[in-house]
Amino acid sequence: MKKCLSVILASLLSCSLLLGCGKSANEVAESNANKTEAAQADSKEEKSSDKSDSKEKKGVRVCIVYTGNLGDKSYNDSCNAGAKKAVEDFGIELKSLEGTTAQEWEANLVAACEEGYDLIIGASSNIADYITEHAPNYPDVKFAVIDTTVDLDNVESISFAQNQGSFLAGAAAAMFTQKTDIPNVNDAHVIGWVGGMDIPVLHDFYTGYEQGAKYIDPDVTILQAFAGSWTDPLKGKELTLAQYEQGADIVMNVASGTGTGILEAAKEADKYAIGVDLNQDADQPGHVVTSMVKRVDNACYLVIQSVVEGTFKGGSTQYLSLAEGGVSLTDFAEIKKSLGEKFPQDIVDKCEELSKKIISGEIVVENYEGFGPKA
């Protein structure tokens, strides 16, 4: 009887142990499953975090649409210099799209819109109409246009008082053509001006140039011509040589890539020129009197900075004048080295005086229609 009870108790204990072991196995399996799910969730979070970090490291994506080519040593290169500085300072991703025809400008703008850039910059007024047409279709994309104004909620506009800088250039030219003791300056009191494309912003340049020249000499003769292109230095050279033949001693270049031909003509004819946008004084040493610098580099940099720092203001316009350092003349240092004792310091002194009068409001420089701080 005792032996029988022992067998029964042993059997019951064995079953109890087996049931207990079965329950532990299920718990272990469930625990392992929970751990696997947690690990997978952690992995997803890590991947998501990696993607986020990667995107953050990549920075703001910026595309600049040029209406010409880089390498012009003028307007486009100035814009590119500002963009490159933004790459260094903010780690942005930068794309530059170049084009020489209206069809290319519009196609490049639309392609940039489709790529989903954070900021698309139209580098000149030539592209304003295309931004006006296409920007409303991409309300989440920020746009900027330089050298003109586009009144849309997602577009920031930056323009310049090129009329003020050109006033100083015209005044300098009118004084320079009177200096007959300088080699190859005649007594005819004729100056020239050669532009790229015949567009409104260049007329704002010319308005100031003419006013400045006539402020100095009401009887000065001003020759004007347009090359019809930003990328035709041979045409620029041809037009400039023609103006020298007509008696001009000095010609202002307002032609971007076409302008390299204007400066080459000054050297070939042993005459003089005025540079534009960038400091071009050393491009043809001894033949470039000064340059009317237009700080396109600052404009490009500032609008990129506004997107990076979250201060971008669509629908706003900035107007950079002499007072803000948006335009200015260079310091005449290169021509001073070339002319030596014959260098006319009075031109520098007079231009400094005129600059102060413009900034104070004593001299009001006229604008071409549609331009100016309230345009």
DSSP per residue, 172-202: HHHHHTT-TTSTT--SS-EEEEEESS--HHH
Q: Say whether both 154 and 194 belong to one domain.
A: no
Whether residue 43 lies inside any domain: the answer is no
Whether residue 254 lies inside any domain: the answer is yes
Whether residue 277 lies inside any domain: the answer is yes
What's the whole-number mean pLDDT along residues 290-296?
A: 97
Q: What is the pLDDT of residues 257-284, one digit of tens each?
A: 999 999 999 999 999 999 999 999 999 9
How does residue 7 score in pLDDT terms, banded at 50, 70 and 90? very low
Contact at 8 Å (CB) between 63 and 95? yes
Q: Say whether both 204 and 270 belong to one domain.
A: yes
Q: Say whether both 204 and 289 belong to one domain.
A: yes
Whether residue 53 lies inside any domain: the answer is no
Q: Say whether both 144 and 172 belong to one domain.
A: no
Residues found in the chain: 375
* Residue 373 pLDDT: 87
Whether residue 49 lies inside any domain: the answer is no
How does residue 108 score in pLDDT terms, banded at 50, 70 and 90? very high
Q: Say whether both 235 and 267 belong to one domain.
A: yes
Helix (H, G, I), strand (E, B) or coil at 21: helix
CATH of the domain at 102: 3.40.50.2300
Q: Say whether both 168 and 156 belong to one domain.
A: no
**Residue where a domain stops, chosen among 103, 125, 160:** 160
Nearest to 118 by CA among 100, 91, 93, 101: 93
Q: Say whether both 231 and 120 belong to one domain.
A: no
Q: Which residues, other chains included, contact 18 with Cβ-Cβ below 8 Å and sequence gap of 6+?
A: none
Domain count, the chain: 2
Nearest to 326 by CA among 200, 162, 108, 131: 162
**Residue where a domain stops, chosen among 160, 186, 206:** 160
Q: Say whether both 184 and 233 belong to one domain.
A: yes
Contact at 8 Å (CB) between 290 and 252? no
Angle between helix 200-216 and helix 162-176 axes, rounded to 10 deg: 40
CB count within 10 Å of CB 53 equals: 10
**Residue where a domain stops, chosen among 105, 138, 160:** 160
Whether residue 299 lies inside any domain: the answer is no
pTM, two decimals, is 0.81
Query: Measured between alpha carbons, how far is residue 181 from residues 76, 185, 215, 343 in Å?
Result: 37, 7, 22, 10
Amino acid, single-letter form, for residue 240? T
- Residue 226, exposed/middle/buried by CB under 10 A (0-12, 13-18, 19+)? buried
Q: Say whether both 177 and 155 belong to one domain.
A: no
Q: Say whether both 118 and 220 belong to one domain.
A: no
Average pLDDT of the residues of the chain: 88
Pure H helices in 154-258? 162-176, 200-216, 233-245
Distance CA 136, CA 181 (A): 59
Q: What percent of the chain has pLDDT over 90?
A: 83
Q: What is the pLDDT of residues 213-251, one digit of tens each?
A: 999 999 999 999 999 999 999 999 999 999 999 999 999
Q: What is the pLDDT of residues 338-366, one digit of tens each?
A: 999 999 999 999 999 999 999 999 999 99
Q: What is the pLDDT of residues 150-200, one digit of tens each?
A: 999 999 999 999 999 999 999 999 999 999 999 999 999 999 999 999 999
What's the whole-number mean pLDDT along residues 95-123?
A: 97
Q: Say whether both 272 and 244 belong to one domain.
A: yes
Whether residue 214 lies inside any domain: the answer is yes
Q: Say whether both 155 and 166 belong to one domain.
A: no
Distance CA 304, CA 186 (A): 48
Taking each continuous run of H as one helix and of E as one strand, the counts in the chain are: 11, 12
* Residue 58 pLDDT: 59
Query: Measured between alpha carbons, how far is residue 137 from residues 66, 67, 125, 234 in Å?
Result: 21, 22, 20, 40
Distance CA 131, CA 156 (A): 11
- Domain limits at 96? 58-160
Whether residue 304 lies inside any domain: the answer is no
* Residue 72 pLDDT: 94
